[in-house]
Amino acid sequence: MIPIARPDVGPEEAAAVAEVLASGMIAQGKRTAEFEQRWAEYVGVKHAIAVSNGTVAEIAIFAGLGIGPGDEVITVSHTFAATANSILFTGATPVFVDIEPDTYLIDAARIEAAITPRTRAICPVHLFGLVADMDMIQAIAERHGLAVVEDACQAHGATFRGRRAGSFGHGAFSLYATKNMTTGEGGLITTDDDRLADWIRLYRNQGMRTRYDFEMLGFNFRMTDIQAVIGLVQLGKLDRNTARRQAIAARYDEAFADLAVGLPVTPDGRTHVYHQYTVDVGPARDAIVAELRANGVGADIYYPLPVHRQAYIQERGLHADLPVTDRAATRTLALPMHPGLTDEEQATVIRELRAAVARHAGEDDGRIAAALGSAALAPESAAR
């Protein structure tokens, strides 16, 4: 099976880990501090804080902003559940707004209608490697005095008008194995806010600034130096690997240009880092994914059941009407996308997707024709 993702880890990471192990200093230490410094420079912010994963990165930001019970955070349902979960874990309520049909990102034009007196923050998700419309989001946030928390877990290095993801508000990144850079598990927080950075550093470390002096109630959200040195090597490879992802995306774009499918779009002024290459293949999506997988192509679905339709969210009474999200959940698939994808593997993916789409061609039209056919028999209903 050609995998959808494959971490680019090898001898350099192994050598770095061996060095840390030999040093005897394996928990959070100076290599973690070095990783944080390098990431802050890369993103273009004052502070980066390394933590155990992307979920706790988000929890720490929301908690550090003082967001809690009674507060609302505006976000999307078309995302990994961790976005909403991190809001829920603070005691606050996620309020879901719909996405744009072409970018799959938060539809910023819908945000203001969702603002209430309880709204404290907007949390755009830079899904699949593309930054949301930060011009509009920042303008709305400023107008209403709201914080901006960027879920940049899938957007390492992506830019909007020359600025990197995670530099607009407070940013959360995941370093999970399948992400554009990885430490196995891991997370990074970015911010220009000195107070928030200091608070999160304490929160990450049981509230301790100095040993056994607990200034506040904290957690253990620390990263290890073993992870940090992997992260340093990964950061050194990030731009090269992003360029490779972009080249793979360009080849997919060209190969599918004549197909009746929706391809990823990159609005002007943004760079896409293609954490995923997502295609709208229409209503036959599930059959197409099954056929691709049967033919050795590890296509996958992000995300088959939107967060607002998950039972644990509905049990909390968090109902939302999100037709564009629902539509994306039934029609889109993601193709293998990682820097190690070979040209031959990509040729197989292209051949198999073209063949699968051809086998199901017209199924959309078929439904429309069927609907028109019944309307033709009942012209009075067709007129409505």
Ligand X SMILES: Cc1ncc(COP(=O)(O)O)c(C=O)c1O
Nearer Cβ to ligand X, position 238 or 288?
238
Which chain residues interact with ligand X by CB under 6 A? 53-55, 79-80, 82-83, 125, 151, 153-154, 174, 176, 187
Q: Minimum CB separation from ligand X for residue 124, in Å?
A: 10
SS3 253: helix
Q: Could you give the dihedral angle defined by the CA atoms of residues 141, 144, 146 and 149, in that order, rounded to the nearest 10 degrees? A: -20
In whole angstroms, give the CA distance from residue 294 to residue 297. 7
In whole angstroms, give the CA distance from residue 54 to residue 245. 22
In whole angstroms, give the CA distance from residue 320 to residue 96. 7
Q: Minimum CB separation from ligand X for residue 151, in Å?
A: 5
Nearer Cβ to ligand X, position 52 or 346?
52
Nearer Cβ to ligand X, position 55 or 119?
55
CA dist 213 → 29, 65, 163, 207, 381 (Å): 18, 23, 38, 8, 74
Q: Minimum CB separation from ligand X for residue 173, in Å?
A: 8
Q: Which residue is nearest to ligand X (CB)?
A: 54
H/E element holding 97?
strand 93-97
One-letter amino acid at 101 equals P
One DSSP character per residue, 28-51 reads SSHHHHHHHHHHHHHHT-SEEEEE
Nearer Cβ to ligand X, position 50 or 357?
50
Nearer Cβ to ligand X, position 149 or 288?
149
Q: Minimum CB separation from ligand X for residue 154, in Å?
A: 5
Q: Minimum CB separation from ligand X for residue 335, in Å?
A: 17
